[in-house]
Each structure stands twice: as C-alpha cells, then as structure tokens.
C-alpha cells in the first residue's frame, strides 16, 4: 500500500521589515526645510554657523582661563588674614584721639575685601583697604605711646606682610590670565563673551 503523502504545514508569510519609527518625523522635517524660502534657509545656516562658532570660542576660552583667583593657592586665607590685621589696627588706633572717619573707612574697605569674589574685585578692594589703613595709622600714630604704639606698628607690619603674599599669588595668577586675555582678543565672538578676570594694580 503506498505510503500516505506527508502534508506540510504552510509556512507563515514573512512580514516586511517595519520602517524605523522616526522615519516619518525625519521626512516631515526634511519637507519643512525644503519648503523654506531660500533667504530663510541662508539665514538659518548663518545662525547655526554663528552658534557653532560661539560655542567653540567659549570652550577654547574656558580651557585657557585659570581657575578662580580665590581658589588659587592660599588666596582665601590671605584675604581673610589681611582684613583681620586691618581690624586689629583699628582696635589699637581707637586708643588714640578721634579717628572715627579713618576707622569707618577701614571697616568699609575690609568688608568689601571679604565679600569680593573675582581677582579684579579683590584687587580694587585691597587697594582701597591699603589706603584706608595708611590713613588710619597716620591719624593715630601721634596719639599712641609705648605698648600701644608698638602694637599698632606690629599690626601694620602684619598687614603689609599679608599684602606681599597676596601680590605674589596675584602675579602667578596673572601669568595664566594674560594668556587667556591674548586668546580673548583673537576670538571673533569675543563681544559675546566675558573678558578674562585679572588682578589689577601690580
């Protein structure tokens, strides 16, 4: 008896590969771009070019710019000590004759130095504090004798010493900041970027 023919199950039809889900979105975007007037397309390309140039310039300047002056070396502690020595001079000078105007000037300048954040702000506040302390010592020196005079001199010496330390840190910082300034001057988008921070007056 002939063997029964083996029936094979029909193979399922293979579905066509589905198109990526974002394909319609890409097509729609391309259609919108193609529909743009020529002038608008040129303007859009110019805008994208300017944006790319700005981002590139900003990144280059960021790489060339040194970290914040307050984070350099011992700058933060030097600024704190310098303001403290200025106030010590005020405490001693108050034992002399009336120095209210000089005392107020020192206190105000010391507050500004402690609240300054950038190298430029610190340099300006420190110059103001230096002038105020000098006027304070001049106003009080004639009215102090003996130990009081020695204490005022000691406070003035420590104040000046901290000033020397601060200027040393500032010179090292400015060496790096000057390189950033030279790069800044060459950047075509510099008018959109912040000028590099520098310590003034040294």
Q: For the segment 12-33, what is each residue's pLDDT rounded down to a tens digit? A: 445 445 545 555 566 665 566 5
Cβ atoms of 89 and 132 closer than 8 Å: no
Residue-wise pLDDT for 86-99, tens only, equals 999 999 988 877 78
Question: CA–CA separation, 88 vs 133, rounded Å?
Answer: 10
Question: CA–CA separation, 197 vs 86, rounded Å?
Answer: 26
Instruction: Please give the distance of CA 154 from its chain centroid, rounded to a whole number.
Output: 35
Least confident of 19-23, 71-75, 175-179: 19-23
- Global confidence as pTM: 0.68
Which residues touch 83 (CB under 8 Å, ≥6 apart)?
110, 113, 114, 129
Question: CA–CA separation, 188 vs 169, rounded Å?
Answer: 31
Report for 22-36, 62-76, 120-134, 181-195: range of highest mean pLDDT: 120-134
The answer, yes or no, to whether residue 158 has pLDDT greater than 80, is yes
Least confident of 62-71, 138-147, 188-197: 188-197
Higher pLDDT, 63 or 170: 170
Per-residue pLDDT averaged across 129-140, rounded? 93
* Helix ranges, the chain (H): 23-35, 38-64, 75-93, 100-115, 119-141, 146-186
What pLDDT shows up at residue 11? 53
CA distances from 9 to 3, 14, 15, 59 (A): 18, 15, 18, 65
The answer, yes or no, to whether residue 110 has pLDDT greater than 50, is yes
């Amino acid at each position: 008896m002939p063997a029964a023919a083996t029936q094979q199950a029909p193979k399922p039809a293979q579905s066509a590969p589905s198109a990526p889900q974002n394909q319609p979105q890409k097509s729609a975007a391309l259609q919108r771009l193609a529909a743009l007037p020529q002038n608008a397309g040129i303007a859009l390309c110019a805008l994208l070019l300017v944006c790319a140039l700005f981002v590139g310039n900003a990144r280059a300047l960021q790489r060339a710019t040194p970290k914040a002056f307050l984070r350099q070396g011992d700058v933060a502690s030097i600024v704190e000590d310098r303001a403290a020595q200025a106030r010590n001079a005020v405490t001693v000078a108050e034992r002399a004759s009336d120095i209210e105007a000089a005392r107020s000037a020192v206190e105000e300048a010391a507050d500004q130095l402690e609240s300054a954040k950038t190298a430029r702000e610190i340099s300006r506040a420190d110059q103001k504090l230096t002038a105020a302390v000098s006027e304070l010592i001049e106003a009080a020196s004639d009215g102090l004798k003996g130990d009081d005079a020695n204490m005022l001199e000691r406070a003035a010496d420590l104040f000046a010493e901290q000033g020397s330390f601060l200027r040393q840190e500032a010179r090292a910082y400015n060496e790096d900041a000057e390189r950033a300034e030279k790069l800044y001057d060459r950047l075509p988008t510099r008018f959109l970027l912040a000028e590099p921070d520098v310590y003034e007056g040294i």
